[in-house]
Structure 1
């Protein structure tokens, strides 16, 4: 795993080009807006604890927000420089005239989880079952699973089942209480369920690959304004390098996860599964591969989710993925 992470770091450095040494430039503050208890904090905490940002000539200023909508508003208002969101939102904003762009953060996505003793072994076995879905009716993972069911001719997941939409922690709790036959949740809730004895039926990444992706697509990325990036190339390069180096550490050091346990609020098997699933989600592919697969999935999602999901653009907008000038 360490080798793969080093390759990712090398790739990140090549993407941004030559990164000046710390002595060659003054440290520049980059404001990163995140959810107070979100998984992005694990990487940012690693960066700050080991002063990785200083090593790469930036000062990461972490700004906490109560919800995703609040981080989006803060970025659009210029109150922060980076947030974490998905490539679909970036493309939709670009189609509306905004200059948002991104670089990959994580390929970790949700999965459809069932109790260990469940008789459900495939999507075809779900018919007539009660399914919990986090993220709402047009959640990307839910749409991809519906697309997979359609391709496999196993029925209409939304129409053939009793679907309960809800908040991720509530659905995780109801699943453990036996009130749901299956639950599609965000990746870290799935990891905690896995540690509690649930098993993965099918993941959104598996659905994506069945629908045309050649590998795991980074569902999430660090989002920022292209115009700001052009004016602050060293800040972008430094932050990208710090992010990559933190991933190397998280991908190789079990001790780092023990240190992070109070931040993650997990221990024992739960911490181990979260660590392993996080490591699986460290991006390792080129920007070209990411963009090609995102474009393929965009077409699938546009068909399944319609304008409510993708807006007016039927294709992935150019510039969605950042390439240094």
Structure 2
């Protein structure tokens, strides 16, 4: 009997010791896991915060602008974007271009992230494989571009442009206007002599009678009219919508969509100011462009403003322009405009 009791007593002790051992082991393991989890969470939060801080500090938003492009040029001087990005540590740089095509070439080369051009440059850029994205459009207006001829010119009708030397910035918004003007006048594009010139060179050629007509946009249009008495053969009414487009590099859109939204928000604010203050805009642009304030006011008052998401109708019209350029072999291949429209601004 004593032997039995002794066995039972020892067995109970072994069970108690075994339970205690498992309890201690389990508690220790729980504390270790808890500590590791806590450390991992803290490290994760700290890492995310550090990465976010580093990302913000490393972001440089590179803007391309033209002096004659009211909104971005005004924003550059007023430092709208610099003020908007101060809080999160990003910085802004600016690069000037004479027109849209070289600006988009710079975007293709990775030199700028954001810019504004007329309707034709992004079509040429897309056809060349430039990884850009339409992010918004500006309704600008058909009165803000035209075909000019010297006041004493014998050119009276659109048909009279046949065989003439016509100045135009290749790939610019007026490149499409010229195509539509010739189409309306039943003149084959091959039957004119295009002189591909940037606005300052075209102005000199126009005044020197080295070109017979000039396809040009405001404010260069209003300046030439005032200075030379040039006649407007036709403006873009009924021929071309003459919209402007805000464009961004695809890499920038993909990596920094929030920064892009901030840029567009600031563009909208400055846009609203410009729309309501044409005289102030003219005074701002005058010393930069060397154009009289009164002439610039004319240009400002005959254009429209807006920072709008691309609608199906706008995309369709851009596609028409692209198809037209392909048809007459101004671009080497057919493109699909809708493939590079940003959906984040809908």
**Residues 206 and 167 (structure 1 numbering): CA distance in 2 closer, same or farther, change over 3 Å?**
same
Larger helix proportion, structure 1 or 2?
A: 2
Alpha-carbon separation, structure 2, partners of 1:260 and 1:96: 33
**Residues 228 and 200 (structure 1 numbering): CA distance in 2 closer, same or farther, change over 3 Å?**
same
Alignment of structure 1 residues 179-198 onto 2, 5 Å: 179-196=210-227, 197-198=229-230
2:269 matches 1:274: no
Structure 1 unaligned regions, length at least 5:
1-25, 209-215
2:132 matches 1:100: yes
Alpha-carbon separation, structure 1, partners of 2:344 and 2:224: 40
Give the drift of 1:247. Answer: 1.8
Structure 2 unaligned regions, length at least 5:
1-55
Equivalence for 2:318 = 294
Match for 2:339 among 312, 319, 323? 319
Match for 2:166 among 132, 138, 149? 132
3-state SS of 1:322 partner: coil
RMSD after superposition: 3.5
Equivalence for 1:171 = 202
**Residues 105 and 29 (structure 1 numbering): CA distance in 2 closer, same or farther, change over 3 Å?**
farther
Give the drift of 1:240. Answer: 0.8
**Residues 206 and 188 (structure 1 numbering): CA distance in 2 closer, same or farther, change over 3 Å?**
farther
Alpha-carbon separation, structure 2, partners of 1:225 and 1:62: 15
Q: Which has the larger radius of gyration?
A: 2
Equivalence for 1:120 = 155
3-state SS of 2:266 partner: helix
C-alpha contact 1:134 1:167 (8 A) present in aligned 2: yes
Q: Deviations over 1:96-137 (max 9, x none)?
A: 765420222564664210234545332023345x4331224x
C-alpha contact 1:31 1:80 (8 A) present in aligned 2: yes
3-state SS of 2:280 partner: helix
3-state SS of 2:341 partner: coil
**Residues 140 and 272 (structure 1 numbering): CA distance in 2 closer, same or farther, change over 3 Å?**
closer
Match for 1:230 among 254, 258, 274? 254
Match for 2:94 among 40, 53, 63? 63
**Residues 33 and 268 (structure 1 numbering): CA distance in 2 closer, same or farther, change over 3 Å?**
closer
**Residues 206 and 141 (structure 1 numbering): CA distance in 2 closer, same or farther, change over 3 Å?**
farther
Match for 2:68 among 39, 43, 46? 39
Paired residues in the alignment total: 279
3-state SS of 2:291 partner: coil
3-state SS of 1:318 partner: helix
2:264 matches 1:243: no
Give the drift of 1:180. Answer: 4.0
C-alpha contact 2:176 2:321 (8 A) present in aligned 1: no
Give the drift of 1:93. Answer: 5.3
3-state SS of 2:340 partner: coil
Q: Deviations over 1:173-213 (max 9, x none)?
A: 232344544222344322211222223212346423xxxxx
Alpha-carbon separation, structure 1, partners of 2:173 and 2:293: 31
Give the drift of 1:89. Answer: 5.0
Alpha-carbon separation, structure 2, partners of 1:188 and 1:87: 17
Equivalence for 1:221 = 245
3-state SS of 2:214 partner: strand
Normalised to the residue count of structure 2, the TM-score between the two structures is 0.66
